[in-house]
Amino acid sequence: MLLQVISGSRAYGLNTPQSDTDIKGVFALPKREFYGLDYTEQVNSQTNDIVYYELGRFVALLMNNNPNLLELLATPEQFVLHKSPVISRLKPEIFLSKLCCKTFAGYAQSQIHKAKGLNKKIFNPVEEERKTILDFCYIIEGYDALPLNKWLKNNGFQQEECGLINVPHSRDMYAVFHQSQTEIPMHGICGENSGGDVRLTSPPLALMSYNKDGYSSYCKDYAEYWDWVGKRNNARYENTLQHGKNYDAKNMMHTFRLLAMAEEIATEQRINVFREHDREFLLKIRRGEFLYDELLDMANEKLTQIELLFEKSSLPETPDVAAINTLLVEIRENIYKQIL
């Protein structure tokens, strides 16, 4: 183990009584595993509350100016649980570059839209009982479109007794027929293995339209919603419902933290993990004291300012790859000498 720290909200000084304790760290593989086929670049707990990066993976991500890894390297001493002397040779300053404009500010911008996007899932839940293809089919009756399930019920039909043929030059339009019209065995309108499409046969009893795009979109929304339900943090979910501002307040708080850190990197050329000066402002966001549109306006103004600051900054365009590679080799050689 080369480095082990408390990370996340506690390291930022933005934790609440409900906050988890996140642990991150860096390790070096035994020499045999590093040179052999059993290279492990990262290990983590099932919930990702605990994550450890192999030294090479750690440095590679630092060179890409990954925010999480730069924060890990710059963790304040009071949150450092263990630090090997060899890792002390890696300083955040040797990795900082203008790439941070994209990795910090760019990522923050994507999170702004993500925070609002969660509103759709929170306030527009998808019923757990999954719909089928039949729910997206309609029978044309005169100038009206009757849901297929209702039409089947009105006529005392089962979908397995029916069949379809394509109507030429009409997308997703079908002629429907019933078993009573023919001796040809019917295979039904759809089945478990129909792959999101309807089955075809003949001759016609009625015309049916199938909203295939609508069904595909529904399947995607259903999968995303129930995946989100399974993974969501219930405390954050309840907080969003309580403050009623229709965005994930914790997500938005960290968005503005990233924006502030990007500005500091451009002007001060350092990583300030613990949020001493803007702590109260960030906690107000977490408590839902701002409207989403207010935050969006502030964020857009901040993004424009950050881009200008990075253009004027004396930071290099990218980290010095050759120098960092030499340093990594020296550190790894040092580690293996100590082990031997």
CA-wise closest residue to 147 among 205, 209, 94: 209
3-state SS assignment for residue 216? helix
What amino acid occupies position 57?
A: R
pLDDT over 70 (residue 112):
yes
User: Residue 340: pLDDT band by 50, 70, 90 thresholds?
Assistant: very low
Residues 6+ apart with CB under 8 A from 91: 73
**pLDDT top residue among 251 and 319:** 319
Tell me the pLDDT tens digit for each residue of 74-108. 999 999 999 999 999 999 999 999 999 999 998 88
Average pLDDT score over residue span 30-44: 89
Is the pLDDT confidence value at 243 over 60?
Answer: no
Stated length of the chain: 340
Asked if pLDDT for residue 14 goes beyond 70, the answer is: yes
| Residue 241 token pair | 């419902």
Residues 41-83 pLDDT 10s: 999 998 889 999 999 999 999 999 999 999 999 999 999 999 9
CA-based R_g, the chain, Å: 29
Is residue 233 predicted with pLDDT exceeding 70? no
pLDDT tens per residue, range 279-338: 999 999 988 888 888 988 999 999 999 999 999 999 999 999 999 999 999 999 999 887
Which domains are assigned to the chain? Answer: 1-95+319-340 (3.30.460), 96-125+233-316 (no CATH), 133-213 (no CATH)
- pLDDT at position 24 over 70: yes
Residue pair 138/209 in contact by the 8 Å Cβ criterion:
yes
- The pLDDT-based confidence of 241 (bands split at 50, 70, 90) is very low
Q: Is 290 in a helix, a strand, or coil?
A: coil
304-319 pLDDT per residue, tens: 999 999 999 999 999 9
Largest CA distance in the chain: 86
Least reliable range by pLDDT among 104-108, 114-118, 171-175, 253-257 = 114-118
The reported pLDDT for the residue numbered 202 is: 54
Q: What is the pTM of this model?
A: 0.66
Question: 207 and 167 in contact (C-beta within 8 Å)?
Answer: yes
What is the reported pLDDT for 282? 96
Cα 136 from chain centroid? 29
Q: Both tokens of residue 233?
A: 């943090």
DSSP 186: P
Give the residue from 320, 324, 327, 325 showing the smallest Cα distance to 97.
Answer: 320
Contact between 252 and 285 under an 8 Å Cβ cutoff? The reply is yes
DSSP secondary structure of 230-270: HH--HHHHHHHHHH-SSS-HHHHHHHHHHHHHHHHHHHH-S
- Kindly indicate the confidence band of residue 128, based on its pLDDT and cuts at 50, 70 and 90: confident
pLDDT at 113 over 80: no
